[in-house]
Amino acid sequence: MVENLFEYDSVSLCDNGEGLKILDQTKLPNEEVFIILQNEEDFTDAICSLKVRGAPAIGIAAAYALFVLMNNSGIMRVPDYSAEFSRIKNLLLNTRPTAVNLSYSLNRMEFRYNECLKDKSITTELINQKLRAEAELIKKEDICSNLEIAKNAITLLKPSMSILTHCNAGHLAVSRHGTALAPIYLAKSKGWNIKVYACETRPLLQGARLTSFELKRAGVDVTLLCDNMVSSLMSEGKIDAVITGCDRIARNGDTANKIGTSSIAVLAAYYKIPFYVAGPSTTIDHYSLTGDSFVIEQRSPDEVTEMWYSKRMAPKDISVYNPAFDVTKSQLISAIITEKGIFRYPYNFEI
């Protein structure tokens, strides 16, 4: 079974409900360090600094964060609860603007809270129990969704294929299994010998640090390459398909994913290689008609100029362009794979 490939989840609620245990992904691949998040600073830092990352995992972590922070607040009166709930929700909502799973999970938690308020005799203790159950359900649904994505995506693959992926959309980016990597793990469990090429994914190197780490750990044949080597690889006929994850999908199929994804889609179209996007249906933003309306997160210049170097590698005070994501136009995407099925251009996610 594909589940047996993983020793732990990257996001797990502590048994006492007073903290969230995460794998600090900024330490990988050299160290596997688990940390416990308990207060506002812990959670906001973990999300902003990418200790926890990946659109689904961010959403799950935020749902747990809302429960943990309210549970730890010690608030006993329901009238005092609402203001604090709204403040914490907005605090978490502003940590990462592009990934839609963050707002989806927080809105679900708010909906559950509002349902609780319909009971005029409800206590804050019971509200906390309901919020915990909702956060646990969000994680459980994500695990099931990942498996369904794997089952749908593997129908597009064949044994012995070579797959290119960008960034990290695997076990570390979700509750378990992955989105883009879920079919790879399912293929592995079936005895298929699929080969994966993983882009470094600059500037934060999620492909080099995370995707290559987890695929190698799972016994998958993986080769690392720099982002600017993709065209060379494709021109040699070494890639049969591209599969990436996504952080937001517009109603027309435009997709936001880690910076560099759009370039790969253009190259795949030129070389006539299928370009697939895998993600849960919760990543579809029904309020955005196209990707033009997506808010693209701009990150610190330090990630480009010095983060991975023993000495600064760029002149001081140099201007830096550092968007976290780009938008791949729907016409370049061969198929979008969710737990609900395989969708093709022109996209209609309402069915």
Give the 3-state DSSP-derived string for 222-261, with helices as H, strands as E and coil as C: EEEECHHHHHHHHHCCCCCEEEECCCEECCCCCEEEECCH
Catalytic residue among 9, 142, 247, 254: 247
Report CA 227 to chain centroid distance, whole Å. Answer: 20
For 197, the 3-state DSSP assignment is strand
Nearest 10 degrees: Cα torsion 120, 126, 128, 133 = -110
For 88, the 3-state DSSP assignment is helix
List of residues 6+ apart from 345 with CB closer than 8 A: 253, 330, 331, 333
How many Cβ atoms sit within 10 Å of the Cβ of residue 346?
Answer: 9
For 105, the 3-state DSSP assignment is helix
> For residues 5 and 189, is the Cβ–Cβ distance under 8 A?
yes
Encoding tokens for residue 344? 């093709």
- Give the DSSP H/E element, type plus range, for residue 257: strand 255-258
Active site residue 292: no
Instruction: Look at the block and give the residue holding tokens 């509750």.
Output: 175
Residues designated catalytic: 247
